[in-house]
């Protein structure tokens, strides 16, 4: 019950965690755990999610978790979509790529030159249409979609952190200086609605120096993360009853952001503890793993 509630809380905090609940149920089904455990886990995770979606539907008129999931998935497809292959309906055709080339999927959400932002009105008013376009694009070009998901995910394994998108600050990004706000529709909206005096970031001493010094020894290099995941895979094979679930969770946490939008360094942090747990279980004795 506690596990189901925590998984639901994670999904409600950040919707990218929603697949983890499904993965947990799937792994436990494959392990053929006693049905009583599933009978407790499933409602404990499902009821909070259904309750939130019902509240959202009452408030916004749609049974859902957010009003931006379709736009995010549409942006994911903008890195590979070919409307000559997709053949969208006339209603969806305005969402086709318009020749604007950006360095990361999320940039298509905010760029004023993207096809979505050239449509009249608020971009998120097209969420349902964007989702329909994205699902059609993925169905028409599954290998292209898979290629881009894998390409983004492997960014996590670089020795030196890669800025993605290029305008963002990856690990090793703490520095001294000032950084103006990006010029994009979201920033303009925040300044207009909340505070026109909102400005960019600036470093403040002595905290800036502490963070600059801290980031180098504290950062887990990409190849080391890859080794941990490989060891976790060994653990999942050798001790499926104990290591399979944390390893699947780690892989899901790593790949899910790239699948629904794009890779983001901040999500890698949550991968590390469960990946390390799976890796550690690769070296436990069968008797110890079974007792635990």
pLDDT tens column, 62-121: 888 888 899 999 999 999 999 999 999 999 999 999 999 998 999 999 888 999 999 998
For 23, phi and psi rounded to 5 degrees? -60, -40
Q: Same domain for 113 and 83? A: yes
Domain boundary among 39, 66, 93: 66
Measured CA to CA, the distance from residue 116 to residue 95 in angstroms comes to 6
Model confidence at 280, in pLDDT bands (50, 70, 90)?
Answer: very high
Q: For the chain, what is the largest distance between any 2 Cα atoms, rounded to a whole number of angstroms?
A: 64
Is the per-residue pLDDT at 292 higher than 60?
no
| Per-residue pLDDT tens over the stretch 203-258 | 999 999 999 998 888 889 999 999 999 999 999 988 888 888 899 999 999 999 99
Q: Same domain for 232 and 161? A: yes
Q: Same domain for 54 and 103? A: no
For 179, phi and psi rounded to 5 degrees? -135, 110
Tokens linked to 288: 């110890």
197 lies in a domain?
yes
* N-terminal to C-terminal alpha carbon distance within the chain: 18
Question: Residue 289's closest CA among 236, 251, 252?
Answer: 236
Q: Same domain for 240 and 147? A: yes
Tokens linked to 162: 């890669």
Q: Same domain for 249 and 110? A: no
pLDDT of residue 18: 84
Measured CA to CA, the distance from residue 160 to residue 185 in angstroms comes to 31
User: Which structural domain range is residue 116 located in?
Assistant: 70-138
Q: Same domain for 58 and 191? A: no
Contact between 100 and 81 (Cβ < 8 Å): no
pLDDT of residue 20: 84
Q: Give Cα 43 distance to the centre of its chain.
A: 24
């Amino acid at each position: 019950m506690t596990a189901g509630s925590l998984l639901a809380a994670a999904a409600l905090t950040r919707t990218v965690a929603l697949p983890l609940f499904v993965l947990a149920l799937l792994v436990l089904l494959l392990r053929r755990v006693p049905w009583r455990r599933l009978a407790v886990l499933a409602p404990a995770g499902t009821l909070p999610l259904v309750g939130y979606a019902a509240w959202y539907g009452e408030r916004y008129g749609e049974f859902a978790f957010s009003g931006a999931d379709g736009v995010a998935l549409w942006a994911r497809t903008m890195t590979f979509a070919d409307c000559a292959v997709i053949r969208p309906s006339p209603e969806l055709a305005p969402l086709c790529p318009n020749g604007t080339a950006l360095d990361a999927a999320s940039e298509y959400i905010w760029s004023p030159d993207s096809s979505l932002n050239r449509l009249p009105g608020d971009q998120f008013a097209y969420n349902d249409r964007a989702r329909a376009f994205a699902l059609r694009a993925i169905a028409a070009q599954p290998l292209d979609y898979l290629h881009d998901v894998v390409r983004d995910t492997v960014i996590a394994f670089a020795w030196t952190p890669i800025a993605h998108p290029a305008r963002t600050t990856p690990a090793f990004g703490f520095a001294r200086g000032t950084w103006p706000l990006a010029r994009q529709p979201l920033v303009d909206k925040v300044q207009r609605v909340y505070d026109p005096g909102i400005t960019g970031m600036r470093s403040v001493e002595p905290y800036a120096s502490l963070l600059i010094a801290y980031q180098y020894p504290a950062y887990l290099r990409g190849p080391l993360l890859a080794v941990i995941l490989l060891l976790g895979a060994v653990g999942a094979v050798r001790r499926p009853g104990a290591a399979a679930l944390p390893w699947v969770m780690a892989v899901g946490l790593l790949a899910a952001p790239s699948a629904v939008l794009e890779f983001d360094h901040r999500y890698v942090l949550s991968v590390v503890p469960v990946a390390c747990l799976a890796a550690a279980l690769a070296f436990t004795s069968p008797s110890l793993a079974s007792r635990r």
